[in-house]
Amino acid sequence: MSNGFHVAIVGATGAVGAELIQLLEQREFPLRGLKLLASSKSAGQALKFKGEEIPVETLSKDSFKSVDIALFSAGANISKEYAKRAVTAGAIVVDNSSAFRMEPDIPLIVPEINLSDIQKHRGIISNPNCTTIIALMALYPLHANFGVKRVIAASYQAVSGAGAKAIHELSLQSRLFFSGESTAPEVLPHTIAFNVVPQVDVFLDNGYTKEEVKFVNESRKIMHHPTLRASITCVRVPVFRAHSVAVHAEFEQPVSVERARDVLAKSQGLELVDDPSSRKYPMPLLVAGKNNCQVGRIRADSALDNGLALWVCGDQLLKGAALNALQIAEALDK
């Protein structure tokens, strides 16, 4: 495939699809052709790519002829219905949904962490959950050096994680708030403007949400660490894009703040922003639109042996979704 790839984006009109199109423009991806796919509601639209208008086609079982790589970002139900059809047609699928992440024979990849797992793919490669990716960008380098055994975390998740309609919902509710009006939430479970909602995804019988369970299970799989003990509370906050995660981690080996900073400062895809005396620390506004995640507020955890507390931020639509998927696709050319 040295002449380039024919790429299809499934869910091209969504928030992640838009980022994938921009990234394909910005990065030197070996692209030979681009097909944009979405539901029938989007048929007839055209999206700009490198100065040209590319029509959006209706996704169907016949959409994947001559496609080399199919980037799926249209939800688990669509992936379950069409991903294996794409593989049968000859494409390699990079799937951004939860459909296949925990299947043992399907790699779950963060390129900076476990890229070698990509060799095990049988046509489908899974992109992890956005919160998992962003947290592990800081946690994994520490694990590789000191051996993490326990993690307690809380996420502060932007509405972009719930898609383009949730972004619009926050914008609309914010405007209406100042005019004394209100509108019933349609995408999120409660009003999100000037509020925080301690629910991301649906609740399970154990009291955790699916999002919270994803973090635990996916972290174990990505880091090849089945005995990791982890618990997280996932919270939706009135931020348009970029997730934040407060991480409290306990390690097998003694770890100092200085050694942790040194490890994190050298980690690929991660920037150390940690100077509290100058009020410098990661924030969603600083990482929105940026490829790298940021880590800061690094300190000895006062409640854990060999523990560290840290604060990680990353753009959910980029490293948390589109960029990670495209990095996987880029690795297929090597």
**Could you confirm whether 313 is annotated as catalytic?**
no
**Same domain? 80 vs 177:** no
**Same domain? 102 vs 67:** yes
Domain that includes residue 39, residue range: 5-128+321-331
pLDDT digits (tens, 9 = 90+) for 264-311: 999 999 999 999 999 999 999 999 999 999 999 999 999 999 999 999
- Please pick, among 6, 121, 143, 243, the residue that the annotation labels catalytic: 243
CATH number of the domain that residue 225 is part of: 3.30.360.10
Does the pLDDT value for residue 1 go beyond 60? Answer: no
pLDDT digits (tens, 9 = 90+) for 117-169: 999 999 999 999 999 999 999 999 999 999 999 999 999 999 999 988 999 99
**Same domain? 118 vs 162:** no
> Do 294 and 270 touch, CB atoms closer than 8 A?
yes
Nearest C-alpha neighbor of 218 from the set 334, 326, 319, 110: 110
Indicate the number of domains in the chain.
2
> pLDDT averaged over the chain?
96
**245: three-class secondary structure by DSSP:** strand
CA distance 153 to 230: 8
49-73: average pLDDT: 96
20-48: average pLDDT: 94
Does the pLDDT value for residue 240 go beyond 80? Answer: yes
* Beta pairing partners, 37: 10, 57
Residue 163's pLDDT is 85
**Could you confirm whether 6 is annotated as catalytic?**
no
Nearest C-alpha neighbor of 316 from the set 334, 289, 278, 294: 289
**Same domain? 119 vs 214:** no
18-31: average pLDDT: 95
**Same domain? 327 vs 255:** no
The pLDDT-based confidence of 333 (bands split at 50, 70, 90) is confident
Residue 296's pLDDT is 98
**Same domain? 193 vs 276:** yes
316-321: average pLDDT: 96
- Please pick, among 130, 234, 293, 313, the residue that the annotation labels catalytic: 130
**Same domain? 89 vs 46:** yes
CA distance 204 to 239: 26
**Same domain? 117 vs 171:** no
CATH number of the domain that residue 88 is part of: 3.40.50.720
The three-state (H, E, C) secondary structure of 22-58, written as one string: HHHHHCCCCEEEEEEEECHHHCCCEEEECCEEEEEEE
Does the pLDDT value for residue 323 go beyond 80? Answer: yes
**Same domain? 72 vs 160:** no
Does the pLDDT value for residue 314 go beyond 60? Answer: yes
Q: Return the percentage of the chain with pLDDT > 90, whole number.
A: 96
- At 77, phi and psi to the nearest 5? -65, -40
Residue 2's pLDDT is 54
**Same domain? 60 vs 73:** yes
**Same domain? 21 vs 162:** no
Nearest C-alpha neighbor of 68 from the set 80, 47, 86: 86
Does the pLDDT value for residue 261 go beyond 50? Answer: yes
**Same domain? 65 vs 119:** yes
